[in-house]
């Protein structure tokens, strides 16, 4: 078995479709942890927040630190003043602040105010990572639809909301407010839900698409920023009448065996059908699945299947959902990804995913973790998207 490493594929955004499980990937911040844990991971940061800023524990601590430091300096100055006056040396009750209690109270109040001023000033120079800004906006812009930037560094104007329940789909985890996409993505989901029904897959459970204005997310993904990525659960839909609460509670089980080499007993022939239907859609650029799932599709596929199998790309995680990425619908500000390599991808390139290097990667060096995306890292047009009505 060859262990050739798959080539790194440059993506327009600068992200890559290869590398390590949690970063630089332009696909998703996947983690080799149970899917049920990963799906619900949320990382709160602000104790309280407004649109652009949040009050953090560190800013509160800064106020206290500066307050206490200045108070200590005042105490020291007072002591020095007392000791330097020989007539008061043995009469500490005659200290300056005992004589003028108002001065002491005023000094402490000034110190507290200085602490707040410095803390707020530091925060002003320390802008929020873009993920907090975009996740705080709950409505789309009224502009014409446009995906701006790359899949892993961009935003979305004129987003359309995927209906919570359609004829053959349900949007899951509605509390996340991530069921917004480019109209082409919404149309694709409608198309795939019908194609799925024809193939014996009764409906789609649709996971995250994008925020109402796209942009980075506080949890789960590095891509999904321009309304052209969507996660679709591999859990066959038992009901298309789930309540809002049920959609928060249920999750999608893994389709991959514990040794990560093959699919498990949850996999059915109909899973292959829905993935093939998705990959054959002309709007689709790529579909990411766990390597064990790709291997199964390769095993079942025939000679004439290379074109759709080519789009199905192995990636870490993706064992309980598949991730569909569409081509840029319009030329211009949307940065498309290079096409996948020629061929069905069922060769030595796939074999690498079953080596120890890929299955059990060592912990990531903290220095290799890319810094948080700031607004300045996104296309300039994203500032206008944030500010638009
Ligand atoms: Zn995804």
Give the distance (Å) from ligand 1 centre to CA of residue 294: 16
Surrounding ion ligand 1 within 5 Å at CB are: 28, 231, 323
Give the distance (Å) from ligand 1 centre to CA of residue 362: 23
Is pLDDT at 182 greater than 70 in this prediction? yes
Instruction: Please state, for a pLDDT cut of 90, what percent of the chain lies above it.
Output: 59
Q: What does the mean pLDDT of the chain come to?
A: 81
Give the distance (Å) from ligand 1 centre to CA of residue 155: 16
Give the distance (Å) from ligand 1 centre to CA of residue 122: 35
- Please give the pLDDT value at position 63: 63
- Please give the pLDDT value at position 74: 73
Average pLDDT for 232-254: 96
Give the distance (Å) from ligand 1 centre to CA of residue 95: 67
- Please give the pLDDT value at position 47: 39
Give the distance (Å) from ligand 1 centre to CA of residue 127: 27
Quick: pLDDT tens for 119-171. 665 555 568 899 999 999 999 999 999 999 999 999 999 999 999 999 999 99
Give the distance (Å) from ligand 1 centre to CA of residue 208: 7
Give Dmax (Cα) for the chain. Answer: 103
- Quickly state the pLDDT bin for 290 (edges 50, 70, 90): very high
Alpha carbons 144 and 159: distance in angstroms, whole number: 9
Give the distance (Å) from ligand 1 centre to CA of residue 179: 12
DSSP string, 162-179: PPSEETTEEE--GGG--B
Average pLDDT for 314-324: 96
Residue 227 and residue 147 in contact, taking contact as beta carbons nearer than 8 Å: yes
CA–CA distances in Å: residue 366 to residues 27, 105, 218, 370: 19, 46, 19, 9
Lowest-confidence region among 5-14, 141-150, 316-325: 5-14
- Please give the pLDDT value at position 232: 98
> What fold, for 139-387?
Muramoyl-pentapeptide Carboxypeptidase; domain 2 (3.30.1380)
Q: Look at residue 151 and give its three-state secondary structure.
A: coil
Q: CB neighbours of 184 closer than 8 A, spacing ≥ 6?
A: 145, 228, 283, 326, 329
Quick: pLDDT tens for 253-277. 999 999 999 999 999 999 999 999 9
Quick: pLDDT tens for 372-388. 999 999 999 999 999 99
Give the distance (Å) from ligand 1 centre to CA of residue 321: 8
């Amino acid at each position: 078995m060859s262990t050739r490493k798959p080539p790194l594929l440059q993506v327009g955004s600068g992200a890559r479709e290869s590398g390590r499980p949690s970063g630089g990937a332009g696909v998703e911040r996947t983690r080799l942890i149970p899917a049920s844990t990963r799906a619900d991971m949320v990382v709160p940061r602000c104790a309280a927040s407004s649109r652009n800023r949040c009050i953090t524990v560190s800013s509160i601590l800064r106020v206290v630190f500066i307050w206490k430091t200045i108070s200590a300096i005042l105490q020291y100055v007072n002591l020095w003043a007392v000791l330097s006056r020989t007539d008061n040396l043995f009469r500490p009750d005659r200290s300056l602040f005992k004589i003028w209690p108002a001065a002491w109270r005023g000094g402490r109040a000034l110190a507290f105010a200085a602490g707040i001023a410095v803390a707020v000033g530091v925060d002003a120079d320390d802008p929020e990572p873009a993920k907090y800004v975009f996740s705080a906006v709950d409505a789309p812009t009224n502009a014409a639809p446009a995906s701006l930037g790359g899949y892993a560094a961009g935003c979305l104007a004129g987003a359309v909301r995927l209906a919570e329940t359609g004829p053959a789909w349900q949007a899951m985890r509605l509390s996340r407010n991530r069921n917004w996409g480019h109209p082409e993505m919404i149309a694709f989901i409608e198309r795939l839900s019908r194609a799925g029904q024809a193939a014996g897959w009764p409906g789609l459970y649709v996971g995250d698409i994008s925020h109402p204005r796209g942009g980075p997310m506080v949890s789960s993904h590095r891509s999904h920023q321009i309304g052209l990525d969507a996660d679709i659960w591999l859990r066959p839909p038992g009901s298309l009448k789930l309540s809002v609460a049920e959609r928060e509670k249920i999750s999608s089980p893994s389709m991959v065996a514990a040794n990560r080499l093959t699919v498990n007993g949850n996999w059915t022939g109909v899973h292959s059908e829905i993935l093939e239907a998705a990959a054959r859609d002309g709007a689709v650029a790529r579909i990411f699945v766990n390597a064990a799932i790709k291997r199964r599709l390769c095993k079942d596929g025939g000679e004439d299947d290379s074109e759709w199998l080519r789009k199905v790309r192995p990636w870490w995680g993706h064992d309980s959902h598949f991730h569909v990425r569409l081509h840029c619908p319009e030329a211009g500000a949307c940065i498309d990804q290079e096409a996948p390599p020629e061929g069905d991808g069922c060769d030595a390139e796939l074999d690498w995913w079953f080596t120890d290097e890929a299955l059990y990667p060592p912990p990531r060096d903290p220095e290799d973790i890319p810094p948080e995306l700031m607004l300045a890292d996104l296309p300039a047009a994203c500032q206008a998207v944030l500010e638009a009505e």
